[in-house]
Amino acid sequence: MIFDDYPTEFLIEKGYIPFINWSDWGLLCFDTNRNKDDKNYPVILWDHEIADTFQDQYKDFYALITTLDEDERTNIG
């Protein structure tokens, strides 16, 4: 899907590497246009309905994982 479908022209060619479908919103992507030195890329949301719009979601992948973990712990107990 990522390399052979419509997101290629909107994402890959612009430096956004999609790695997961995010609910029904769109795709979460690494923004390789920022933080090139340490490769700790921000995670952005690409809404497939507004193809040229990107929204910052998490500072980096670590922030994504820790937020999801905290949410999971909150919902358990």
Instruction: Establish if 29 belongs to a structural domain.
Output: yes
DSSP three-state, residue 10: helix
Which pTM does this prediction carry? 0.82
Instruction: Establish if 58 belongs to a structural domain.
Output: yes
* Residue 5: pLDDT band with limits 50, 70, 90: low
The structural domain count of the chain equals: 1
Instruction: Establish if 1 belongs to a structural domain.
Output: no
Q: What is the pLDDT of residues 39-68, one digit of tens each?
A: 899 999 998 888 788 999 999 999 999 999
Domain containing 15: what range? 7-76
Q: What is the pLDDT of residues 6-41, one digit of tens each?
A: 677 888 889 999 988 887 778 999 999 999 899 899
Instruction: Establish if 34 belongs to a structural domain.
Output: yes
Instruction: Establish if 2 belongs to a structural domain.
Output: no
Buried b (16+ CB within 10 A) or exposed e, 54-67: beebbebeeebeee
What is the dihedral sign for C-alpha 59, 62, 64, 66? negative
Query: In whole angstroms, what is the distance from residue 10 CA to residue 77 CA?
Result: 40
